[in-house]
Structure 1
Amino acid sequence: MTADLVRNYAINGIQYDDHMSLPSGFAHVDALSHSQHYRVMEDFMTQIKNSVKAARRNAIVSYSPSTIEFSQSHHNVDWENYLQHGVVDEIVPQYYRSSSNDYKIIINRDIPRLHGHQTSLIGGIRLSESGPRTPAGEVQKMIDLSYARVSFWFGDDIITGVYKPPKLLTNVDVVL
């Protein structure tokens, strides 16, 4: 289905989020070892990437997981190795926090584990929904802390028309 989307529509790539996982809590999943969990998910994502690249060689295959620890323990996804193994072109972790200090803690925990692939990591910043709004000053600090690029998650506010983007010091292109 993913390859059909890439082949039949003018899109530059595809991104899967943390729902593309093998969640813990199911008997048949919990019966597997951690290495089996990780291998199942890595093999599946590799199949997706191969089918996307066969349909459109330059298409980007992106993955937007939770933090490394949460992904490994709850979603059975070992994305810290996805870049090293060539499973995806970019990782956009959902570092959705309301304070730049919390954001910095997560960045400092995950970045060293990427073994030289830090520039393929795009920090996900939540601006609204699923928690308190992130103040503009904190958003700017998170942008400044990010290793390469950032991605913003807006939630339902765009649809309802309630959200008003904060003024940021950094030039950031927002594409909807």
Structure 2
Amino acid sequence: MKSPFIAQSWRRLFKSLFPILILISFITVLLLDSFAPAIAEGWGFGAIAQLPRQEIRGVWMTTNDFDTLKDREKVQDAVSQLRRLNFNTIYPVVWNSGYVMYPSAIAQRAGIQPFIYKGSDGHDILADLINQAHRKGLLVIPWFEFGFMAPPTSELALNYPDWFTQKRDGSQTSNSAAGEVMWLNPFLPQVQQFITNLVLETVSQYDADGIQFDDHTSLPYEFGYDKYTVALYTKETKNAPPRDAQDAVWVKWRADKITAFMVQLNQAVKQRKPQAIFSVSPNYHDFAYKFHLQDWLTWMRQNIVDELIVQVYRPDMQSFVANISRPEIQEAQKIIPTGIGIMAGLRNNPVPMQQIKSQVRAAQERGLGVTFFYYESLWNDSLESLNERQVGFGSLFPSPALRARVE
């Protein structure tokens, strides 16, 4: 039996230590939360799966940004500024207009001359951006902007005309934001192999954190009436493709073929670099599926999408909010990092800072990240002064949210 004196002493000691014990417990919880990625990795859990809540704060770097990208000092300033404003991800274009933006043995063997990849002092632009961004703790995910799309004047279209598909009337072009374009046949084995080779070359040749495919890794519903695809559809279904390009069975068959290719592409990327982020930045699903045969919701449900950024370029707030509130976006954000693509402006169509702030706030209120199109329009060709824009963007992310890199 304890003496009253001993019991009283223990009570006094516990009472004096109680605040310290509470503080230790609180710090322990914080440390465990901070080291969760490393712990999960050590226990063998998937790197992407255990980081579903990372907030995306990104910006695309397009061909319009090459004045910055080709100059090491400008890249250093850009990366430093993005880090200071608490961005965490850069998506530089590496595939545009049928050309790659880096020295590519694959493109060279295909007889496609480099478009732009050398910097002002002859350096590799992509390698320099990745190195400088990683020093500041930012992720870099190269972006295959043009997907299956290429201009009719490109060497790709001129050298490989049989790689391109057509509409029912035999025409091969459509109009896009990039002008008149042709579409590589996503069902053709040679095309699938070419795109796969370029993607694997990118993730192998560079210390990139992943790879991104946007709304052009698809096919407008009017296309698919080339000889190869018609023969394949007829063989598999015992029917010729319907005259109606939007026939539900015909749409689904083509969409499923693109899905099958994306599954294979994901497997190839993961085999080459298991921790690479397989990022997708499409339009909202109803539009993507019906008009571009891009069934990205199925891709996500088949666990081949590690990160989703849905492009919602709407000046009207009511339309913007309606599109970012869609059920497929809510479904995505439960399992993977999910963000909204926001228009920061175009050279001939500036976007006011107030609109950008309102859209970012609406996304953040729904637990969504954001990525801006595109870097130069963050500051230039805007309605406000450079200082006003930078102050405005500085208010969007008041605290850091760096994303964990997995080596």
Judge same fold: TM > 0.5, yes or no: yes
Number of the residue aligned with 1:94: 311
Number of the residue aligned with 1:26: 223
**In structure 2, what is the Cα distance between the partners aligned to 1:17 and 1:89?**
14
Number of the residue aligned with 1:141: 358
Number of the residue aligned with 1:36: 253
Q: Check whether the contact 2:308–2:332 (CA below 8 A) recurs between aligned residues.
A: no
Alpha-carbon deviation of 1:39? 1.0
Q: Check whether the contact 2:221–2:251 (CA below 8 A) recurs between aligned residues.
A: no
- Segments of 5+ residues of structure 1 without an aligned counterpart are none
Aligned pair count reads 170
Number of the residue aligned with 1:78: 295
Work out which of the two has the higher radius of gyration on C-alpha atoms and give 1 or 2.
2
Number of the residue aligned with 2:281: 64
Alpha-carbon deviation of 1:97? 1.5
Any idea what the Cα deviations from partners look like across 1:6-61, whole Å, max 9, x if unmatched? Answer: 01111111111111102211252737623212211211111111111111111111
**In structure 1, what is the Cα distance between the partners aligned to 2:301 and 2:348?**
33
Number of the residue aligned with 1:153: 373
Alpha-carbon deviation of 1:162? 3.7
- More moved, 16-25 vs 94-103: 94-103
**In structure 2, what is the Cα distance between the partners aligned to 1:170 and 1:155?**
16
Q: Residue 23 of structure 1 aligns to which amino acid in structure 2? A: P
**In structure 2, what is the Cα distance between the partners aligned to 1:115 and 1:93?**
12
Q: Check whether the contact 2:342–2:372 (CA below 8 A) recurs between aligned residues.
A: yes
1:116 paired to 2:116 = no
Q: Relative to structure 1, is the Cα distance of residues 144 and 113 closer, same or farther in structure 2, using a 3 angstrom cutoff?
A: same
Q: Relative to structure 1, is the Cα distance of residues 78 and 10 closer, same or farther in structure 2, using a 3 angstrom cutoff?
A: same
Any idea what the Cα deviations from partners look like across 1:110-168, whole Å, max 9, x if unmatched? Answer: 2x13563225321000111287433212212211222321111127647x954554513
Q: Residue 307 of structure 2 aligns to which amino acid in structure 1? A: E
Alpha-carbon deviation of 1:171? 1.2
State which of 165, 170, 175 in structure 1 corresponds to 2:396.
Answer: 170
Give the TM-score normalised by the residue count of structure 1: 0.82
- Partner of 1:93, secondary structure, is strand
Alpha-carbon deviation of 1:5? 0.9
Q: Relative to structure 1, is the Cα distance of residues 131 and 70 closer, same or farther in structure 2, using a 3 angstrom cutoff?
A: farther
- Segments of 5+ residues of structure 2 without an aligned counterpart are 1-197, 230-244, 401-407
State which of 37, 40, 45 in structure 1 corresponds to 2:262.
Answer: 45
Q: Check whether the contact 2:211–2:276 (CA below 8 A) recurs between aligned residues.
A: yes
Any idea what the Cα deviations from partners look like across 1:83-116, whole Å, max 9, x if unmatched? Answer: 22112111111111223322101112x2x13563
**In structure 1, what is the Cα distance between the partners aligned to 2:308 and 2:222?**
25
**In structure 2, what is the Cα distance between the partners aligned to 1:102 and 1:114?**
15
Identity in percent: 24
- More moved, 54-63 vs 35-44: 35-44
Q: Residue 68 of structure 1 aligns to which amino acid in structure 2? A: H
Number of the residue aligned with 1:12: 209
**In structure 2, what is the Cα distance between the partners aligned to 1:85 and 1:27?**
25
- Partner of 2:310, secondary structure, is coil
- More moved, 10-19 vs 25-34: 25-34
**In structure 2, what is the Cα distance between the partners aligned to 1:106 and 1:161?**
27
- Partner of 2:331, secondary structure, is coil
- Partner of 1:58, secondary structure, is coil
